């Protein structure tokens, strides 16, 4: 019997050993096969490029061909894995630090000219007297007419403390103006505005997550709380596209106890997986906090709003966020280039990942679908509230996003409001404070006539767009001929009347005019102050922060919220 058991044990051990050898061999085989595929395809790519470069009928640009090949390859993975050549490193540094050397101005293309769209307060452009609407004719004697925005931008940027001369054409001036100025280190504050919105509530706006933005948030919060008497705070992350992960962690740490988990990252390289916790003592864990998000709030914005929601530290208001739960790491390449590559997904404290699009499983046509319903899971916040993964951050209080009429959209896109503001400034040396400034009826009538006089102003109403689609469908199905007179009559009824539409949507058009004109006199802060006067989402946040019963109820789950709504799965990107 002992011999029998010994024999079985030997056979069992031998069997396990054989399985292990076969498994290890399989892994080795798979690795070797994958390495062979990599080498083989790199060789094919090299020989293909060599043949094209040698024998293509026209002269080729090797750098352009290779860059395009790289970009198309990375695009097949996801939109965030990108190649950064040495020539683009300055822009990359600006994205991560918010700093560059230049004149401190936003520029845009208008016809044959690049114009000054917005000089930033306290920077060289504004201090030298450049104004919004100035058309750039020359930079250091070089003609800029017909140049694209990136070309002009490159000329304006340069080493700090170097001088340049700009010739501009200014509306209202008969002759071009020559302006000499000196480039400076430009550091854009990621917190463009903070202040009190009523006797007890302050607001802090954060535009992006650049280096040290958490310090700016901390400074703003302490000033509002300790010097301006704020009893509650609104953190505005609307349209914030994200940025540095570490800064998002630091911002959450300002409001949650030390040791709290904020976010974790998990990817292919397990050694890189990491859990980020609040490492320092917070500055405030009790003050009521509301976070505003929108469809454009992504990445680091979702870490902050999602972590504060999961930890039941803040009430989130607005629209469902973008749903970018992918982490990028920058890797160095040859010749000072870099690769920004997606290396992991991030998971907020409840355990959920808020990535909305599934780039791994594309349709046959290459379309990217949303995460399937079957893969959506329910999670719990610290207080036991239900939340879901797979589709961005769902706010506790949903607020419908305001939609502008087609005529309003056209007035912005075709720079009608911008151009009118330029003329308005010529006639008005001063205006009221941003929070008090309104568009007088006479000025609005003048704006209508200004737009009507522009022969190239074109737009379609939503009704016209829908009618065009209906006509196409009716023609395809053979019904159009039978009702042609009715369709023609409807087209006549819907014929555009610019003045009529501008009267119908006067309120929203005036709001945008106020913001643009306020910016001309009070810079970006003035435009923000003006915009807050009719901010529906801010009003909801203020109302919530006055009702502590609803606020506490949303956080402890006794008042129903929208955060536990399952993501909708009816769209593709």
Catalytic residue numbers read: 299, 310, 324
The alpha carbon of 475 is separated from its chain's Cα centroid by a whole number of angstroms, namely 41
DSSP letter string, 381-435 = -TT--EEE-SSSPPPSEE-PPP---HHHHHHHHTTHHHHHHHHHHHH-S----TT
- Nearest C-alpha neighbor of 188 from the set 482, 557, 523: 523
Measured from the Cβ of residue 91, the count of other Cβ atoms closer than 10 Å reads 13
Question: What is the C-alpha to C-alpha distance for residues 251 and 212, in angstroms, rounded to an integer?
Answer: 10
Q: Are 124 and 156 in contact (CB under 8 A)?
A: no
Question: What is the C-alpha to C-alpha distance for residues 129 and 112, in angstroms, rounded to an integer?
Answer: 23
Query: Would you state the torsion angle of the CA atoms of residues 455, 458, 461, 464, taken in this order, to the nearest 10 degrees?
Result: 100
Bridge partners (DSSP) of residue 181 are 164
Query: Would you state the torsion angle of the CA atoms of residues 161, 162, 167, 171, taken in this order, to the nearest 10 degrees?
Result: -20
Backbone angles phi, psi at 420, to 5 degrees: -65, -40
Q: Are 397 and 317 in contact (CB under 8 A)?
A: yes
**Buried residues in 38-67 as b, exposed as e (16+ CB within 10 A):** eeeeeeeeeeeeeeeeeeeeeeeeeeeeee
DSSP letter string, 362-377 = E-TT-PEEEPPGGG--
């Amino acid at each position: 019997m002992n011999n029998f058991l010994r024999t079985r044990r030997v056979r069992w051990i031998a069997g396990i050993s054989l399985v292990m050898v076969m498994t290890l061999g399989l892994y080795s085989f798979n690795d070797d096969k994958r390495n062979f595929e990599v080498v083989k395809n790199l060789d094919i790519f090299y020989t293909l490029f060599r043949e094209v470069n040698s024998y293509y009928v026209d002269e080729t640009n090797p750098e352009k061909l290779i860059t395009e090949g790289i970009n198309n390859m990375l695009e097949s993975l996801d939109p965030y894995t990108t190649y950064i050549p040495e020539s683009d490193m300055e822009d990359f540094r600006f994205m991560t630090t918010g700093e560059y050397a230049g004149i401190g101005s936003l520029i845009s293309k208008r016809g044959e000219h690049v114009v000054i769209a917005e000089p930033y307060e306290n920077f060289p452009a504004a201090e030298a007297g450049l104004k919004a609407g100035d058309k750039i004719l020359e930079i250091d004697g070089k003609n800029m007419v017909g140049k694209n925005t990136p070309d002009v931008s490159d000329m304006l940027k340069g080493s700090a403390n170097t001088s340049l001369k700009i010739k501009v054409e200014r509306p209202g001036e008969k002759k071009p103006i020559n302006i000499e100025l000196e480039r400076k280190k430009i550091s854009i504050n990621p917190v463009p505005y903070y202040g009190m919105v009523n006797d007890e509530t302050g607001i802090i706006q954060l535009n992006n997550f650049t280096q040290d933005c958490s310090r700016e948030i901390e400074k703003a919060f302490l000033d509002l709380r300790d010097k301006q008497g704020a009893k509650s705070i609104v953190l505005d992350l609307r349209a914030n596209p994200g940025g540095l992960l570490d800064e998002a962690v630091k911002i959450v740490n300002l409001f949650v106890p030390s040791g709290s988990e904020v976010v974790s990252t998990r990817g292919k390289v397990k050694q890189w997986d990491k859990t980020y916790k609040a490492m320092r003592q917070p500055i405030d864990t009790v003050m009521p906090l509301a976070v505003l998000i929108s469809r454009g709030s992504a990445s680091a914005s979702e870490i902050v709003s999602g972590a504060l929601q999961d930890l039941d530290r803040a009430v989130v208001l607005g629209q469902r966020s973008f749903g970018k739960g992918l982490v990028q790491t920058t890797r160095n390449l040859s010749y000072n280039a870099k690769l920004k590559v997606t290396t992991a997904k991030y998971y907020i404290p409840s355990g959920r990942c808020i990535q909305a699009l599934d780039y791994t499983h594309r349709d046959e046509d290459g379309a990217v679908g949303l995460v399937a319903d079957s893969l959506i899971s329910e999670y719990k916040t610290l207080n036991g509230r239900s939340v879901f993964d797979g589709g961005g951050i769902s706010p506790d209080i949903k607020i419908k996003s305001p939609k502008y009429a087609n005529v309003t959209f056209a007035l912005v896109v075709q720079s009608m409001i911008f151009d009118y503001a330029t003329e308005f400034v010529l006639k008005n040396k001063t205006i009221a404070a941003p929070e008090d400034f309104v568009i007088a009826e006479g000025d609005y009538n003048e704006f209508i006539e200004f737009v009507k006089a522009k022969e190239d102003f074109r737009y379609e109403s939503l009704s016209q767009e829908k009618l065009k689609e209906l006509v196409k469908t009716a023609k395809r199905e053979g019904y159009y001929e039978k009702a042609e007179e009715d369709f023609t009559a409807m087209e006549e009824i819907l014929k555009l009347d610019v003045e009529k539409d501008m009267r119908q949507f006067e309120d929203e058009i005036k709001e945008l005019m106020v913001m643009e004109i306020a910016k001309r006199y009070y810079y970006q802060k003035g435009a923000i102050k003006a915009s807050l006067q009719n901010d529906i989402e801010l009003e909801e946040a203020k109302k919530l922060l006055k009702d502590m019963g609803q606020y506490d109820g949303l956080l402890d789950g006794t008042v129903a919220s929208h955060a536990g709504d399952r993501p909708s799965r009816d769209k593709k990107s």
